[in-house]
Amino acid sequence: GAGVSQTPSNKVTEKGKYVELRCDPISGHTALYWYRQSLGQGPEFLIYFQGTGAADDSGLPNDRFFAVRPEGSVSTLKIQRTERGDSAVYLCASSLTAGYTEAFFGQGTRLTVV
């Protein structure tokens, strides 16, 4: 596709359940980023991939959060034992290369934990 695609657009899950959020970056973009945006706040960095490897996962809040990018394209953000505080919009972005190039964002996945 022409842009960054995220699925699902909305996800409602019960507290304690496991969820997976998918990101399909722009073709050819080697860098992929996950952010989390809470209501009324700016996006907060979670993790960054360069190719298949997680180059920086310092933004992941705890070990319930994990992300993979096995073939260097599509990425999945996985959240175990979800908590109500995990409710937010999860944004994915990709850029042609790492570093200072502009990142293009998807429309996000709105996660609601009830």
Partner 1 sequence: AQKVTQAQTEISVVEKEDVTLDCVYETRDTTYYLFWYKQPPSGELVFLIRRNSFDEQNEISGRYSWNFQKSTSSFNFTITASQVVDSAVYFCALSGGADGLTFGKGTHLIIQP
CB of 16 to partner 1, least distance (A): 27
Contact status: 25 vs partner 1 (CB under 8 A) = no
CB of 19 to partner 1, least distance (A): 19
Contact status: 57 vs partner 1 (CB under 8 A) = no
CA distance 68 to 60: 13
Handedness of CA 36, 95, 29, 59 (dihedral sign): negative
What tokens does 32 get?
Answer: 């992929």
Q: Which of 48, 77, 79, 88 binds partner 1 (CB under 8 A)?
A: 48
